[in-house]
Structures are given as C-alpha cells and as structure tokens.
Structure 1
Amino acid sequence: MRIGLIGSSLVAMSLMLSTCGSAEQNAAQPANVTVPDQPQWSEANAGQLRAAIAHRATHGLDRMKFGSAADPGAPLDDAKLTELALTYAGALARGATDPSKLFAIYSLPRPQPDLRKGLADALKAGNVGVWIESLAPQDDNYRKLSAAYLALIKQGGGGAAAISPTDTLLKPGMSDPRVPAIAAQLVAFGYLDAGTHGRRYTAAMARAVQQMQADYGIRPDGVIGGDTLQILNLSGADRARAIAVNMERMRWLQRDPPATRIDVNIAAARLTYWRDGEIADTRKVVVGKPDTATPQLGSPIVSLVANPTWTIPRSIERKEIAGKGASYLRRHNMVWKNGRIVQQSGPDNSLGLVKFDMQNPHAIYLHDTPAKQLFDAIERQRSHGCVRVDDALGFAEMLAGDEGVLDQWQEASGTDKESFVKLPHAIPVRLLYQTVLFDAQGEPVTRSDPYGWNDRVAKALGFDVGGGRRVMNSYTDIAP
C-alpha cells in the first residue's frame, strides 16, 4: 500500500488553542452524554466492550487510555462499565476531542446520536461491540485511513535516518553521498520504483522529486533544497500522527451531510460542489493566511450578489488603509459612507464581480477577485479569511442554473450596479480542514498543514507534536 505524503492539503482570526486538559482527561469526559439508569452488564457484553477498547488503534486512538477502567484486570461494576462504554462510544460517534474547545471558531454540524438509547438496546441484544464499532464513520475513506494507520504503527512508526541538509542545492546529474538515502525515501513514499541507486542524482529520481514537490506545494523543478529535504525527512510517526488527526476530524463531522452542498478544504485550498450526492464541480480557491486563518464553519449561501460593493472591515481600515489619503481612496474607487470606507462596484473591486452571500456572524463568505494570478500559486493561503473562488462568475452561473434563477442572475450581472439574486434554496457550505487526502488510486496521501492546526488535535489525542510543513508567504492585499 502506498502511504505517501503531499504538501499543500480530500476531501480569522488568530485561532488560539484552548485549555482542554490531558488526553486521558478528555477521554474521561464525553460531551453531551447522560448516564442512564444503570443496566445490567453480562460478562459477554463487558468482554465485547474491553475488546473494542483494546482495538482502539483501528481508530487512531491508541494514545488515549480511556481511564484505568479499560484495564482488563480492573474490577468494574455496572456503573463503571456504563460510564466507560459511553465515553468510548462518544469518542467514535462525535470525536474523542471537542473542536469547539480546540479552536476559537468551529461551527460545522456534528453528529448527535442518542448514546443512552443505543447502549441500552445493545446491552439487551448482546451486541455491544457491534454497536460501538457502528458509531465511527463507515465510508471507504475512513477505512483506508484506518488501514494506513495500522500499517504505520506496525512498522513501529519509524522512518529513514535523517538526510542532512547542506547549503548546496542538489540538481539532476550531480553526485552526492545523500542520494541513496533520498532514493530510499522516494521508494518508501511510492514515488520511485525500488532498485539499486548509487550516488548520482538521476533523471528518474528527478522526475520522482518533481512529482513529490508538486504534491507538497513546492515548485516542481526537481532541485532538492531545504523544503524538499524537510518532506523526505518526515518519519512514519509523522505520517501516522497526521492520519490519526484526520480520522478524528472525520468523526467530528455529521455522517449524512446534505446531498447538495459546497465543501471547501482550507488546507488544500480546493472547493468541491456536490449536487444530489454527486460531485458536480471542483476548483481552486484562495483562503486565509495563517495569521488571518479561514475558520472551520458551516454556513449557507443564501444569495448571489452581482457587482458587489465592499464595506472595508475596521481591522483592515486601521492596519492597511489608515493614513493613505484621498488619492489612495480615489485610485481604489473607495468613498466614505456613514463613517465607513466603501469600495464601489466595478471589475477592480476586491470582491470582483460576484459575492456568494453567506449567513454567519464572522463575515466569512465566498467571492470573486481581480487578483486572478493567485490561483496559479500552489499554496493559496493568502487572503484575510474569506474564500476567493477561481472563475467565480462561471461558478455563480452554474449555481444560478442549478437553482432555477439563471435568468435573474444574467439580468443582474449584466448591469453595473450591485444587485441581489436570492436563491430559492440555501446551499450549505462547509469550510473544512483536511490534510490527508486520496490520490487517483484511492491511497491516502498527507499534505502540508498550512495553519499548524494538526498539532493541537494531535496533542489532545496523546501524540507528540511537530513534523509538518507550514505555509510561509508575505503576500498581502486589502481584499477580505
């Protein structure tokens, strides 16, 4: 099985990590779980519970102890067994951690199963183990992550010896004593066929490096420098940790998302439009810079806005426009209205020619942009938090057609004035953060962690942290 690693990640804000206690504390305090009247536990049901917890590595939860009650030698009464069952069931059903405590903003819909009733029914039927396992995501992607995680920890989570960096760039045709170690890592990641590799950096190796660089969001020039060596030096433990974190993120999500929706993967800066349960479109987006991160939230698109105006947020006004003077405002088609700076409609408006109006208290939405060149970048974490959509006009027309308001949209967009076209059905949008995706063969590949958000989840799951690449860019503009 190929267990590869990509850099720049499927399918606002400086978000600070809240105090959430140790992994064991988190496991011992399931959210929204009410202990029912104590049922009777048979030895068979108790054995199934212990067996399920003993195999928690299947879900990347082997670093969490779930209290000493999981110890096969510990005497348990019915009350303790019930508490333990609800705790572990909650971890699989909704996540072992609470994302609203890990992130300042997290409003994605989460599962809300009735664990009390589920446990009571399972005890009566004598199938506690089957019930517990049914609570985790049941889709193929989750199973593939589980298999990859188990394979990595079976290997001991180790990796190849570190490949020492130097100030000299390694270019195709050069000889270097590190080449055999580099080749070994490329083979391990699945980019290079196994074979005998000497000290010469061959054309075949360079092609493999180019593919890896493209996956990781590095310019695919085949030249091995510091960034490329950083990826090659990632260990099996790094990959296992990333997979466990992304399994946890999948457990946070509702099991039956709306069949028609828009998913934006912030880490990968990609949008996927689902229509009636099928992928109808996918395209690039630009999302927030690490210091103005796009938050993980769920929020519907309620209308399309043609030729939008933009009222400059106070934060951008203070940090980036204050003191610029009247000539700056004229150049950017900005005026003062009711004590606020407003950029008027036009092709140079920072929102472009269409805004996808969304309902949320954080002023986060999708929109067009005049800065089309940003979509050519591989790492596209460059905005102030909103999501800029590639060919936004084409996407707006697609949505308008699918929602039966194409005529109204074409009429509105044909003018030069701000106009609103209400959608007959709000389209749910999920802003997700997923750093493990799947390649064309369906194998898991780990992209970069541009915001460093994996660490806070990994720590709560009991892992050591670190090992991922970070987005580092100095691009700035006044757009949202």
Structure 2
Amino acid sequence: MRSIFTKSLALGLLLPACSVQVVPDQSAASNAAASAEAAKWSDRTAAQLRNAIDARATHSLDQVDFGAAANDDAGRTAQALRFAGALARGATDPSKLYEVYSVPRPAPDLKAGLAAALAAGDLTGWLDGLAPQDANYKKLSDAYRALRRDPQAPVAAIASTGEAIEPGAADPRLPAIARELAVLDYLAPDAASGDRYTPAMVAAVRRMQADYAMKPDGIIGGEALAILNMSDVDRSRAIAVAMERLRWLERTPPATRIDVNLAAARLTYWRDGKIADSRKVVVGEPDTETPQLGSPIFRLVANPTWTVPRSIQKKDLASKGAGYLKANNMVWKNGWIVQQPGPKNSLGLVKFDMQNEHAIYLHDTPAKALFAEVQRQRSHGCVRVEDALGFADMLARDGGVYEQWQQARATGKETFVKLPRQIPVRMLYQTVLFDDAGEPIVRNDPYGWDDRVGTALGFKAGKALRVESGAADVGP
C-alpha cells in the first residue's frame, strides 16, 4: 500500500454500494424516445457539455478522448451520451477486460435522462448525478487532481540510486523505507526509527521478498525498491483505476450483503446498511485467480465433503498413492476423488454454498497459518474465511436458523441448512483502500489486474508486480 498523504495506517475497505436497477416498461421507453426527439440543444446546454468534458479530470477521465466539441445537435447528443455512459457505467467494459466479470452494473436510461436534462436546461446537474456520490469517490477525485497537477514530475519517494542496503547498515533512505513497509503491513508502525536497518526491518523485507519470488536475503536493492517505490504517476494511475471500478458498480447496495476485496484479501459483512463484521480471507493465487463475481450464498453446509476438481486431481494428486489418500480421508467415488468430512477436509467444517457456474464459494480451511500472511493470494480460486465457524454462526443467527445450524454441525455428517434469505456476495478487486484518517492508500496489485484497466483509460502501462505466492496445499 502507498499513502497518498502520510497518515495513520488502520485500513478501511473501499467498497461502495450497488443495487439492481428497474428496467423501464415499453411505454416509458416510448415516452423517453419521444422526449429525446422533442428536446433541443441550446447555447447554454452546449456550453454545459463542453465545460463538463473539459473538467473530466474530476473523474480521472482526462486521458480519455471524447472527441472535439460538436457543432450540431446530433453530434452533441452522441458526445453527451458517451460521456454520460462513462460516468454512469464506466468508460471501459469489465466484461471485455476480464474473462469473468458478473458483478451487477448500473443500467440507467441515459437517453431519457439526457432528454429531461435538455428540456430543463440543466445538463450539469444531470451529469453530476451520474457518477458515484459517496465520500470515498470524492476523496479519490481530490487525490487524483492533486497528483496530476504536475504530471511531468514522476519522482519516486525513495531514491533508487546508491548502494544496496545491507542488514545493520545506516542509510538516510531507511525512514522512508520503514514507512512504506508499515503501509504494506510488513512492519509494525512503531517497529523502526532512525536511519539504522534494524532486525525487525530485515525480517519485514525478507517476508516481502518471499512474496514476490525474490531471494529473501534482506538486502534492499533495486528489486525490493521497485516494490517499495511508487511515483506520483503510478499513484494517479492506480487512483484512476479505482475510480473506474467504482463507476462499474451499481450505486445503492442491498442493505445486507458480503463484499470480498480480492486485492486486499479481506471480507466485509454488511447488515442492514452497517458493517457488522470484517475478517481476513485467503483468495486465489495468481494464475488461479478468484474471479470477480456477483453470486449469493443460499445455504450453509455443515461437515462438508469435497469432490476434488479434475484440475487439482491432475496437478496435485496424480503422483500420490493410496497411502496419501487414506491419510487425508480421501476415497474414490464414481471416478472422482472425494474427501470425507472431518478436521482434515480441505473445506474445513463449513462451506458457504453460492450460486454460480464457476464453482466458486466461501469455506473453512484446516490451513489456518495462511491467515497470518500479508499476501493471502494462496488458494486454487475459492475463498477461505478466517474463523469460518464463527462467521457461519453469525449468519445463522441473523437468518434465524442458529439452532438448526448447531444441530447440523453436531451430526458430524454433511448436512445442509438453507438460509431463509439469500445473502448477495460481490467479489471485487480494489487496490486503493483508505486509512483511518480517510486518506487513500495505494496498495500493490497482486494479480496484475490494474494495467489492463489503466491502459484502456489511456494511461501508459504501469509496473504490474504480481505476487508469486504458490498455493500452499491442495485445497480449492
């Protein structure tokens, strides 16, 4: 993570709201079309359009070309709809940027909205209302504009020139390095001071190097500084990408939902519009990334069995013998390897069943040590939840099925407990978080997914430093 303005480091997830829009009926659509034909451009509304596009850096869209100012009504209408679409749904299409993207997106009737705005002579108010309205979006906008004031000065925070820093050495760059290690969660904020390379800092650097497939020798050279360093150009690109991802999302959330930030490997549970719980998760490693899904939890599974997917069976179990299968409570059933319920089961003691075609779900895990890692992109694609039993208890209580859930657990056998109300889940990817002072913090991009969005927005490619963790076990 990188702090735009150096502040305290307690992080809050940047996860704004979303909802399903109501599709207008045919009569409404016909009325909108008629209104669009009737409404005409005036000098005032034409000037409002030019001013809005000229000020598009407010939405980090200054690298996007919306064309020269049109001089006729048809041209102005086409340009206004392009710009309005960028504000309302994003300037890019995530379903074309990613193999899988099923998080619900906004679907406003832009033609009807434009017709109404032209009739009222207030294009500015209409356009201003299309982008996300929450405080986090505005803070990102403020930070972006501050960073773009001098785009010709991409100065890194930590000088990369000079000798590599050996353990125990003194170097004037170390205070800045310590701050960055703390922002990245590798070092406690109060663990280092002064210009001495302390043992605590060495341990933090070694952990960071291991996460990025470097030799974990604790020596701060060019490779380590590439992770620790980020120029203002890098930061502004990351913030622009974050704002675009927010524009992809619908604006008003279900009051009760679960958001999983794949980049931060953290889950947030919203109950009746307020954060009820936040906890660590383990998500897919690079190359088996957890996709960006919108998919509800519909039931809890106590003491689950696990049918090993063919991909994992071929990659991880093909060389294992009967002794391994027996030791891990696995058996062959109808041509599949199935792991029986119990403490060794890779799904742990609870599975949160979700409705999607990708076989992605939340679950428990016996590999508890992974939750202590900083980079928790270490699974084969599903999402492992810290203290999953405690989380299941919480959902069961909220759903009014707590007693039924406890009875299911007590059977020791795979037992299903349907939730009275499905809980929407969004798998999101957001590399910008906020500290407890409300300032944006830019985090490293573990999947290397920011570049494709940044490039589509007109930015030069960044330095996508992917995590190289390697899955720790055969679990999903």
For residue 3 of structure 1, the aligned residue among 2, 5, 23 is: 5
Q: Distance in 2 between matches of 1:134 and 1:206?
A: 50
For residue 245 of structure 2, the aligned residue among 243, 249, 273 is: 249
Q: What's the TM-score once normalised by structure 1's chain length?
A: 0.84
CA contact 1:38–1:78 (8 Å) conserved in 2 = no
CA contact 1:41–1:78 (8 Å) conserved in 2 = yes
Question: What is the deviation of 1:60?
Answer: 0.6
Residue 53 of structure 1: aligned partner = 53
SS in structure 2 at match of 1:281: strand
1:238 aligns with 2:208: no
1:42 aligns with 2:42: yes
Q: Distance in 2 between matches of 1:144 and 1:100?
A: 27
Question: What is the deviation of 1:340?
Answer: 1.2
Cα distance change, pair 159–418 in 1 and its aligned pair in 2 (3 A): same
For residue 150 of structure 1, the aligned residue among 124, 141, 145 is: 145
Cα distance change, pair 47–313 in 1 and its aligned pair in 2 (3 A): same
Amino acid at match of 1:411: Q
Question: What is the deviation of 1:155?
Answer: 2.8
SS in structure 1 at match of 2:300: strand
Amino acid at match of 2:408: A
Amino acid at match of 1:40: K
Unaligned runs of 5+ in 1: 12-32, 192-200
State the Cα deviation string for residues 172-207 of structure 1 (Å, max 9, x = none): 5x334xx25x6578899998xxxxxxxxx9637869
1:271 aligns with 2:274: no
1:363 aligns with 2:359: yes
Most deviating of 138-147 and 37-46: 37-46
Question: What is the deviation of 1:160?
Answer: 2.8
For residue 411 of structure 1, the aligned residue among 407, 410, 413 is: 407
1:119 aligns with 2:122: no
For residue 419 of structure 2, the aligned residue among 401, 418, 423 is: 423
Residue 324 of structure 1: aligned partner = 320
CA contact 2:170–2:196 (8 Å) conserved in 1 = no
Q: Distance in 2 between matches of 1:372 and 1:148?
A: 37
State the Cα deviation string for residues 339-387 of structure 1 (Å, max 9, x = none): 2111111110000000000000000000000000000001000000000
1:384 aligns with 2:375: no
Cα distance change, pair 166–295 in 1 and its aligned pair in 2 (3 A): farther
Alignment of 1:53-452 (within 5 A): 53-68=53-68, 70=69, 75-156=70-151, 158-160=153-155, 163-164=159-160, 168-171=164-167, 174-176=169-171, 179=172, 203=194, 224-226=220-222, 228-452=224-448
SS in structure 2 at match of 1:292: coil
Question: What is the deviation of 1:275?
Answer: 0.2
Q: Distance in 2 between matches of 1:34 and 1:433?
A: 37
The count of residues paired between Structure 1 and Structure 2 equals 437
Q: Distance in 2 between matches of 1:242 and 1:157?
A: 17
SS in structure 1 at match of 2:133: coil
Most deviating of 467-476 and 97-106: 467-476
Cα distance change, pair 185–354 in 1 and its aligned pair in 2 (3 A): closer
Amino acid at match of 2:136: N
Cα distance change, pair 312–113 in 1 and its aligned pair in 2 (3 A): same
Amino acid at match of 2:380: H
Cα distance change, pair 185–175 in 1 and its aligned pair in 2 (3 A): closer
Q: Distance in 1 between matches of 2:33 and 2:386?
A: 46
Q: Distance in 2 between matches of 1:190 and 1:387?
A: 26
CA contact 2:164–2:220 (8 Å) conserved in 1 = no
Question: What is the deviation of 1:159?
Answer: 3.4
CA contact 1:157–1:240 (8 Å) conserved in 2 = no
Question: What is the deviation of 1:248?
Answer: 0.1
Aligned Cα root-mean-square deviation (Å): 3.1
CA contact 2:175–2:194 (8 Å) conserved in 1 = no
Amino acid at match of 1:61: L
State the Cα deviation string for residues 145-166 of structure 1 (Å, max 9, x = none): 0000000001326333673367
SS in structure 2 at match of 1:425: strand
Q: Distance in 2 between matches of 1:61 and 1:190?
A: 31
Q: Distance in 2 between matches of 1:407 and 1:202?
A: 52
Q: Distance in 2 between matches of 1:351 and 1:425?
A: 23
SS in structure 1 at match of 2:392: helix
